[in-house]
Structure 1
């Protein structure tokens, strides 16, 4: 997979930008704050419909304008696709593929795949559970874009169910503990459990294939210790999960989630929110110093945290590549943060990729083996260096 052309209109600091990229390594050079990350953020957004820097779309639109447009020509094997995404904060985004409008923006997913590693990824280890869930779900969608619809279905059911729970809580207080009609809540329980079972099944299957790659990568980077992933649901399952033979079917997961929702309904009404489901699950990142696995969030050093974050992202890259879904590898200002061992390992992996986009403040931050096609980035401009 190769990104051949990129066009930005009113995205972040760019009123307009046109860039052509070469296969192999492309290095964006320029002082901090001059727009390098904005370029690779746009590429990542086109691939995932999300930013690695902000949770909302509004900051992506240039101040004083109403929308932003990201357009790219992508080659995959012997086929090319022209992708266009119109970002409309507060409204639905719109997408086109080969100049034809698609009914939903998510229908444009899968034409461009990226794996991005940035300083913000340290939050995979040290941050909130939501960031680890996002890592899993983004990789799910990268592997199989249909999971974007599963996530949307789950989020819609969760929003409706939470609204009903808040309403039921208010009505129960108003009636001083009297009976409340919960028939509509029963319907949304089923919707939530059905979509949740699909999402949960996808996550469990993903961890099964990702775990060995994370452990192998961490061992290569750190040279010692063991690292692993463990999925921890927000309810107690009836059987142990984790081994291949123990991963439940989608129907079994539906039954587990439906039973957990029913068992916790009283507490959920009291609190006015859904307390079990994939939106509250945890992906535990574990490290073993020789005395048994412990949470990396609590026990990993700063260097070990960097190693874990790097091994997780490179495991995602290796998994997609092994499945013939060669992604564009994006390395956003990370070499200056890494010691020589981690820099060397990352450079080795990057050199084998079909296409890599690297940002750096100065050329000296980038290993010599990765100084490919270079671009000078300034205020609102980016030009190929001769």
Structure 2
């Protein structure tokens, strides 16, 4: 898979951008804050309907604009699809595939497949469980767009159930012998059934995904850090009455209903749902110890890389070579990890790389395959915005020296 053209309008620092791409390696070089990451963020957003940098869409719309637009022509196995996404700072986004308006942006999931590695990914190892849950759910949504709908349903039901636990706490405590209590508990029973149905499906999909990913992550980690302890992945579920590693949605639904009943008194006291995939975690081990808290700095980076490269390998196994995006990561890696990463990257159909200066790029990057674009920031009477120059074919390997090419910039 590769993107042939990418067009942006009012996306972050880009009033307009029309970028012709091709298979192989494309490098975007520009100083921090000049807009290079905004380009790959747009590609990633089109693939996952979410940003790897912010939790909501408002920052994606250029200051002063009503909305922003991402359009791309994606080529997969010789078949071209044109995806359009209109992003609003508030309200629902709009999507179109070729000439067809989609009922929901979720209809674009799977049209573009990307695997993006960025400095923020260190939180996959060091961060809170929510980061690892998001990692799993993004992969599931790309492979099985239906699961994105299940996750959206689960989140909606969870919000409603938590609202009931908080707002009707007194009535719930009074029990079935009280009229208000009986009504509140009957409503809670209904939410329990819906939550368990969606939660069983989501948990089953995550457990199955972790089983598939495990070998791919282990292989990638061995390439990146062959001297380190072996990694291990396991899914830690809050559904305690289900068998370990169960991926049967109906069994998990029944087990979750049982656990919800067992924890009902505690949940009413706390006004919070304590059981379900919203409280689960992907446990990452190095040898016999958890990676979080026990991994060295180099091991942490290697693990984060391996988690992304494992997804890359899994997508490739599915039959689609995903677009590999490496956002400002080489400056964070030592020489050995840089070279190991670029050798894996060069096997991809299309790779997008960002770097602050040419000196951040690994020496193993084959200049004959790399197309280099320079990104700069312009300030004039109309404001401050990013511009892109014409592409070159080889980076200048002078650390700390960055030609700006401002005279050649085209702000169209």
**TM-score where L is the length of structure 1:** 0.94
Offset from partner CA, 1:271-298 (integer Å, 9 cap, x none) = 112111001101111111xxxx211111
2:232 maps to which residue?
228
Once residues 30 and 226 of structure 1 are traced to their aligned partners in structure 2, the CA distance between those partners, rounded to angstroms, is 36
1:216 maps to which residue?
219
1:382 maps to which residue?
388
- Measured after TM superposition, the shift of residue 337 of structure 1 is 0.6
2:351 maps to which residue?
356
Task: Please give the secondary structure, in 1, of the residue aligned with 2:145.
Answer: coil
Offset from partner CA, 1:256-282 (integer Å, 9 cap, x none) = 111111111111111112111001101
Once residues 135 and 366 of structure 2 are traced to their aligned partners in structure 1, the CA distance between those partners, rounded to angstroms, is 26
Moved runs in structure 1, 4+ residues, more than 6 A? none
- Are 1:249 and 2:244 counterparts? no
Aligned counterparts, 1:299-318, within 5 A: 299-318=294-313
- Are 1:331 and 2:335 counterparts? no
- Measured after TM superposition, the shift of residue 240 of structure 1 is 2.6
Offset from partner CA, 1:170-191 (integer Å, 9 cap, x none) = 545799x963421122111111
Aligned counterparts, 1:5-24, within 5 A: 5-24=5-24
Aligned counterparts, 1:240-319, within 5 A: 240-241=244-245, 247-288=246-287, 293-319=288-314
Verify the 8 A CA contact 1:197 1:251 in the aligned structure 2: yes
Aligned partner (choices 171, 186, 190) of residue 187 of structure 1: 190
Offset from partner CA, 1:306-365 (integer Å, 9 cap, x none) = 010011110010110011121100000001110112111111110000000000011221
Task: Please give the secondary structure, in 2, of the residue aligned with 1:89.
Answer: coil
Aligned partner (choices 202, 211, 217) of residue 199 of structure 1: 202
Which of the pair has more CA radius of gyration? Answer: 2
Change (3 A) 1:19 1:262: same
Task: Please give the secondary structure, in 2, of the residue aligned with 1:146.
Answer: helix
- Aligned residues between the structures: 376
Once residues 46 and 324 of structure 1 are traced to their aligned partners in structure 2, the CA distance between those partners, rounded to angstroms, is 20
1:244 maps to which residue?
none
Once residues 279 and 62 of structure 2 are traced to their aligned partners in structure 1, the CA distance between those partners, rounded to angstroms, is 34
- Measured after TM superposition, the shift of residue 238 of structure 1 is 3.9
Offset from partner CA, 1:71-94 (integer Å, 9 cap, x none) = 111111121111011111231111
Aligned counterparts, 1:73-152, within 5 A: 73-152=73-152
2:406 maps to which residue?
none
Task: Please give the secondary structure, in 2, of the residue aligned with 1:84.
Answer: strand
1:343 maps to which residue?
338
- Bigger CA drift: 163-172 or 189-198? 163-172
Task: Please give the secondary structure, in 2, of the residue aligned with 1:352.
Answer: coil
- Bigger CA drift: 265-274 or 298-307? 265-274
Which structure would you say has the larger RCO, counting Cα contacts within 8 Å and 6 or more residues apart?
A: 1
Verify the 8 A CA contact 1:210 1:316 in the aligned structure 2: yes
Once residues 11 and 263 of structure 1 are traced to their aligned partners in structure 2, the CA distance between those partners, rounded to angstroms, is 49
Consecutive unaligned residues of structure 1, counting only runs of 5 or more, are 242-246
1:58 maps to which residue?
58
Once residues 248 and 312 of structure 1 are traced to their aligned partners in structure 2, the CA distance between those partners, rounded to angstroms, is 21
Verify the 8 A CA contact 1:219 1:225 in the aligned structure 2: no
Once residues 121 and 98 of structure 1 are traced to their aligned partners in structure 2, the CA distance between those partners, rounded to angstroms, is 33
Q: What is the Cα-based RMSD across aligned positions, in Å?
A: 1.6
Task: Please give the secondary structure, in 1, of the residue aligned with 2:188.
Answer: helix
Offset from partner CA, 1:220-266 (integer Å, 9 cap, x none) = 2221311011111123234232xxxxx34111011111111111111
- Bigger CA drift: 184-193 or 274-283? 184-193
- Measured after TM superposition, the shift of residue 18 of structure 1 is 0.9
